[in-house]
Chain A
Amino acid sequence: DIQMTQSPSSMSASLGDTVTINCLASQDIGNYLSWYQQKPGKSPKLMIYGATNLEDGVPSRFSGSRSGSDYSLTINSLGYDDEGIYHCHQYYEYPLTFGSGTKLEIK
């Protein structure tokens, strides 16, 4: 199975900050990587697909990048609405796997 090692597990940042969340794939997954935002008690919401493509309706403050097997989600100009848990997900092969999640708190 492909392991997705996500870091950090939690983080706290201030309004207006820029933060980066990382996922390391245990083997090559190409650009078959997506990111989801999940707010407390809610279902996940697709933010990024294909490693770098912004889903329709997602603010341009969000961006995704890739360097080899390292994938990153960057959020610029943090707002209170960005608080939640972020999950990475590889859909290169079955079994599909997720990272363990990053809890983002806005101070």
Chain B
Amino acid sequence: EVQLVESGGGLVQPGRSMKLSCAASGFTFSNYGMAWVRQAPTKGLEWVATISYDGSSTYYRDSVKGRFTISRDNAKSTLYLQMNSLRSEDTATYYCTREARGYYFDYWGQGVMVTVSS
């Protein structure tokens, strides 16, 4: 059974940093691209970043480019999102997702809440 379990969220002050982790199991992690998708309270879904199966390619939405870094450790089957210079508009539930072969998201984690506030 595919499982994606996020951790590392919480309350953080504006301008500070936070690192999210996503532990994957139930599939060969190194064969799949992975992504982070977020959802602000009562809002729609917003793609944040994608990393290729081997980590060689990464993609970001403009609003997080230069502040967020997506990475992975295939030996540990873990996906990361390093978030720096956090802003109030980054407040959201962050979902770890697996990219299916066609680059849609076939599995989602349960989500982790990140609140940016002073």
Contact = CB atoms under 8 A, between A and B. Distances in A.
B47 A97 contact: yes
A46 B104 contact: yes
Given A96-B50, A99-B44, A43 B95 contact: yes
Contact of B44 (A45, A49, A87, A96): A87
Interface SS of A by simple majority: loop
B117 interface: no
Interface in A49-107: 49-50, 55, 87, 89, 91, 94-101
Contacts, number: 57
Contacts of A97: 47
A31 to B, nearest CB: 9
Given A94-B59, A98-B45, A98-B47, A43 B102 contact: no
Interface stretch (B20-28, B70-78, B80-88, B108-116): B108-116
Report the contact-size class of chain A (Cβ under 8 Å from the partner). Answer: 20 to 34
B22 to A, nearest CB: 12
Interface of B: 35, 44-47, 50, 59, 61-62, 95, 100, 102-111
12 contacts: A32-B102, A32-B104, A43-B108, A43-B109, A43-B110, A46-B106, A50-B102, A94-B59, A95-B62, A96-B50, A96-B103, A101-B45
Interface of A: 32, 34, 36, 42-46, 49-50, 55, 87, 89, 91, 94-101
